């Protein structure tokens, strides 16, 4: 007799295990199987009880260890079996499953195949990494809105964004996965008339002990990021609120590190 388990599409946040939701931790403790992405931090994986089956399907830009269609089918296969094989599966994804996480694609596939699922939101990188970098996404008088965009498209196709709409001085732009296309993004915004002195920061491994920040503006940030040899995952924040980072630092407690990160940045 065939029976069906359940898939939980769980957001793990950007890295700091303290940002896991209560529901996410609860599900990790009771899962039969955890299927996890590359960006899930080792500290969070350490919270999975011993004996729980773990399956890595980690993907890096341009190097997909497991293609998305195979991940979709894997989730179905893990859930559907005989009475002794149906499992509770946690699909653990970095950040939030529905913010550039392809969680909705997986949910649609599960729905089409009659597999029950639940979505557990996570703290998305835009909110967490910016806060740990001392950068508010909105601030009265500086920014009244936020735009989330991705720095690369499916199969590395050319970026097709509404650059005119994005070049709004009264909004903050957050770019996910924008390391490889940072120069093109800054150039496109400049071409739409955005102020070259607009503050910007690139954040590597935000919320973790490996966090690094590179500050600059639309003209200087690409070169500084290249010289600093930042590596993915990198989140980029562009807008006036970045200029507050020097006063709102709380995560980086070493003043010498703060001074080094901000050295030469024209907006500080």
DSSP bridge pairs for 22: none
Domain shared by 25 and 115, yes or no = yes
Q: By the 8 A CB rule, do 80 and 4 touch?
A: yes
Q: 159: pLDDT confidence band, cut at 50, 70 and 90? A: confident
Q: What is the pLDDT of residue 10?
A: 98
Token pair 């499992």 is at which residue?
87
Report yes or no on 164 lying in a domain.
yes
Domain co-membership, 18 together with 107 = yes
What DSSP state is assigned to residue 36? Answer: E
> Any idea what the CATH number is for the domain that residue 134 is in?
3.30.950.10
Q: Which residues contact 257 (CB under 8 A, 6 or more apart)?
A: none
206 with 183, same domain: the answer is yes
Q: What is the pLDDT of residues 205-222, one digit of tens each?
A: 999 999 999 999 999 999
pLDDT at 58 over 90: no
Does some domain include residue 73?
yes
| Percentage above 90 pLDDT, the chain | 81
pLDDT of residue 155: 56
Domain boundary among 120, 138, 158: 120
Quote the CA–CA distance of 52 and 34 in Å, as a whole number. Answer: 7
Same domain, 107 and 144: no
267 domain-assigned: no
Q: Please give the residue range of the domain that contains residue 15.
A: 3-120
User: Is 176 a domain residue?
Assistant: yes
Overall domain count for the chain = 2
The verdict on 85 and 137 lying in the same domain is no
Q: What would the pLDDT profile of 100-153 be if each residue is shown by its tens digit?
A: 999 999 999 999 999 999 999 999 999 999 999 999 999 999 999 999 999 876
Cα distance between residue 133 and residue 242, in whole Å: 9
- Asked if residue 21 belongs to a domain, the reply is yes
Q: How far is CA 191 from CA 135, 146, 195, in A?
A: 25, 20, 10
Within a domain: 81: yes
Half-sphere exposure of 142 (CA within 13 A, CB side): 16
Whether residue 111 sits in one domain with residue 214: no
Count Cβ neighbours within 10 Å for each residue of 46-70 and write b for 16 or more, e otherwise. eebeeeeeeeebebeeeeeeeeeee
Q: Say yes or no: 101 and 140 in one domain.
A: no
Rounded Cα gap, residues 199 and 88, in angstroms:
46
Mean pLDDT calculated for residue range 234-251: 96
- Compute φ and ψ for 126, nearest 5 degrees: -60, -45
Enumerate the active-site residues.
37, 59
In a shared domain, residues 218 and 107: no
Please indicate, yes or no, whether residues 156 and 251 belong to a single structural domain of this protein.
yes
Average pLDDT of the chain to the nearest whole number: 90
Is residue 255 located within the same domain as residue 148? yes
How close are the terminal C-alpha atoms of the chain, in Å? 66
pLDDT reported for residue 12: 97
User: Across residues 87-98, what is the average pLDDT?
Assistant: 96
Predicted pLDDT at 7: 97
Is there a single domain that holds both residue 45 and residue 68?
Answer: yes
- Average pLDDT value for residue range 11-35: 97
**Which alpha helices (DSSP H) does 56-195 contain, by range?**
68-79, 103-112, 125-132, 163-166, 182-191
- Confidence bin at 96 (pLDDT 50/70/90): very high
- 196-231 residues labelled b (16+ CB within 10 A) or e (exposed): eebbbbbbbbbbbeebbbbbbbbbbbbebbeeeebe
Residue that is last in its domain, among 95, 120, 145: 120
Report the alpha-carbon angle 202-203-207, nearest 5: 165
The confidence band for 65, taking pLDDT boundaries of 50, 70 and 90, is confident
Q: Is the peptide bond before 233 cis (omega within 30 degrees of 0)?
A: yes
pLDDT (0 to 100) of residue 45: 97
DSSP code of residue 143: B
pTM listed for this prediction: 0.90
Q: Which of 120, 149, 168 is the last residue of a domain?
A: 120
């Amino acid at each position: 007799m065939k029976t069906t388990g359940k898939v939980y599409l769980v957001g793990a946040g950007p890295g700091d295990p303290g940002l896991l939701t209560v529901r996410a931790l609860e599900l990790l403790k009771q899962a039969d199987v955890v299927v996890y992405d590359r960006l899930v931090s080792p500290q969070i994986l350490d919270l999975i009880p011993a004996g729980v089956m773990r399956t890595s399907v980690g993907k890096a830009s341009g190097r997909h260890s497991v293609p998305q269609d195979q991940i979709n089918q894997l989730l179905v296969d893990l859930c559907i079996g005989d009475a002794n094989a149906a499992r509770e599966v946690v699909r653990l994804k970095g950040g939030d499953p529905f913010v550039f996480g392809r969680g909705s694609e997986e949910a649609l596939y599960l729905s089409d195949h009659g597999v029950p699922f639940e979505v557990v939101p996570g703290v998305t990188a835009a909110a967490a990494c910016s806060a740990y970098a001392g950068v508010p996404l909105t601030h009265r008088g500086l920014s009244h809105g936020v735009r989330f965009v991705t720095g690369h498209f499916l199969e590395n196709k050319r970026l097709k964004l509404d650059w005119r709409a994005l070049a709004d001085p009264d909004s903050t732009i957050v770019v996910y996965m924008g390391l490889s296309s940072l120069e093109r993004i800054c150039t496109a915004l400049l071409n739409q008339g955005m102020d070259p002195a607009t503050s910007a920061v690139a954040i590597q491994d935000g919320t973790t002990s490996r966090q690094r920040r590179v500050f600059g503006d639309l003209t200087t940030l690409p070169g500084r990021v290249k010289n600093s040899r930042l590596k993915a995952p990198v989140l980029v924040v562009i807008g006036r609120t970045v200029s507050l980072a020097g006063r709102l630092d709380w995560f980086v407690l070493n003043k010498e590190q703060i001074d080094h990160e901000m050295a030469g940045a024209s907006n500080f």
